[in-house]
Amino acid sequence: MYFQHVYDKSLAQASYFIGCQAAKVAMVIDPKRDVDTYLEIAKQNNMQITHIVETHIHADFLSGSRELAALTGAELLLSDEGGEGWLYEFPHTGLRNGDVFKVGNLKLEVMHTPGHTPESISFLLTDTPASPEPVMLFTGDFVFVGDVGRPDLLEEAAGIVGTKEVGARQMYSSLNRFNTLPDYVQVWPGHGAGSACGKALGAVPSTTVGYEKVRNWAFQYGNNPDGFVKYLLEDQPEPPRYFAKMKQLNKVDRPLLTEVPQLKQLSAQDLEAAMKAGVKVIDTRLKPEFAAGFIPGSLNIQGNNAFATWMGWFLSYDEPFILIAAEDKHDDLVRKLMRIGLDNIHGYVPSVKVWEELGHSLQKADNIDLDTFKQEVAAGTPVVDLRGAAEFKSGHVEGAINVFIGKIESQLDQIDRNQKVVIHCQAGDRSSIGYSVLVKHGYTNIRNYSGGMSEWINKGNPVVTGA
Q: Where are the domains of the chain?
A: 2-249, 268-357, 367-458
Lowest mean pLDDT among 58-72, 79-93, 158-172: 158-172
Report pLDDT digits (tens) over 149-161. 999 987 776 667 7
Alpha helices in 179-297 (DSSP H): 209-215, 225-233, 243-249, 268-276, 287-292
Reference 9, options 56, 55, 61; nearest CA is 61
162 Rama class: left (phi>0) / alpha (psi -120 to 50) / beta: left
pLDDT for residue 87 is more than 80: yes
Mean pLDDT in residue range 203-216: 96
Which pTM value belongs to this model?
0.94
With 0-12 / 13-18 / 19 or more C-beta atoms within 10 angstroms meaning exposed / middle / buried, residue 144 is: buried
Mean pLDDT in residue range 240-263: 94
pLDDT for residue 227 is more than 70: yes
Lowest mean pLDDT among 150-164, 175-189, 275-289: 150-164
Amino acid at 13: Q
Report pLDDT digits (tens) over 367-377. 999 999 999 99
Lowest mean pLDDT among 3-12, 197-206, 449-458: 197-206
- Residue 410's alpha-carbon distances to 184, 426, 441, in angstroms, are 49, 21, 12
Mean pLDDT in residue range 243-263: 95
pLDDT for residue 24 is more than 80: yes
pLDDT at 345: 97
What is the spatial distance between Cα 308 and Cα 352, in angstroms, rounded to a whole number?
21
Q: Do domains 2-249 and 367-458 have the same CATH topology?
A: no
Q: What is the 3-state secondary structure (H, E, C) of 97-151?
A: CCCEEEECCEEEEEEECCCCCCCCEEEEEEECCCCCCCCEEEEECCECCCCECCC
With 0-12 / 13-18 / 19 or more C-beta atoms within 10 angstroms meaning exposed / middle / buried, residue 291 is: buried
pLDDT for residue 253 is more than 80: yes
- What's the topology of domain 367-458? Oxidized Rhodanese; domain 1 (3.40.250)
pLDDT for residue 9 is more than 70: yes
Q: Band the pLDDT of 255: cuts 50, 70, 90.
A: very high
CATH classification code of 268-357: 3.40.250.10
Report pLDDT digits (tens) over 329-338. 999 999 999 9
Mean pLDDT in residue range 17-32: 98
Mean pLDDT in residue range 374-388: 98
What is the spatial distance between Cα 21 and Cα 110, in angstroms, rounded to a whole number?
22
* Helix, strand or coil, per DSSP, at residue 69: helix
What is the spatial distance between Cα 229 and Cα 221, in angstroms, rounded to a whole number?
10
Reference 111, options 69, 56, 64, 166; nearest CA is 56
Percent over 70 (pLDDT), the chain: 99
- Residue 19's alpha-carbon distances to 74, 191, 346, in angstroms, are 13, 21, 39
Mean pLDDT in residue range 117-141: 97
Strand pairing category for 13-20 and 25-29? antiparallel
Q: DSSP letter string over 291-354?
A: HHSB-TT-EE--SSTTHHHHHHHH--TTS-EEEE--GGGHHHHHHHHHTTT---EEEEES-THH
Reference 196, options 385, 13, 33; nearest CA is 13
**CATH 3.60.15.10 corresponds to the domain 2-249:** yes
CA atoms within 13 A on the CB side of 467: 2
Q: Band the pLDDT of 61: cuts 50, 70, 90.
A: very high
- Per the prediction, the chain carries an average pLDDT of 96
Reference 102, options 140, 129, 83, 80; nearest CA is 129
> Angle at Cα 110 formed by Cα 107 and Cα 113, nearest 5°?
145
pLDDT at 198: 84
CB 398 within 8 A of CB 382: no
Residues 6 or more apart whose Cβ sits within 8 Å of residue 19: 1, 2, 3, 25, 26, 27, 42, 45, 47, 103, 104
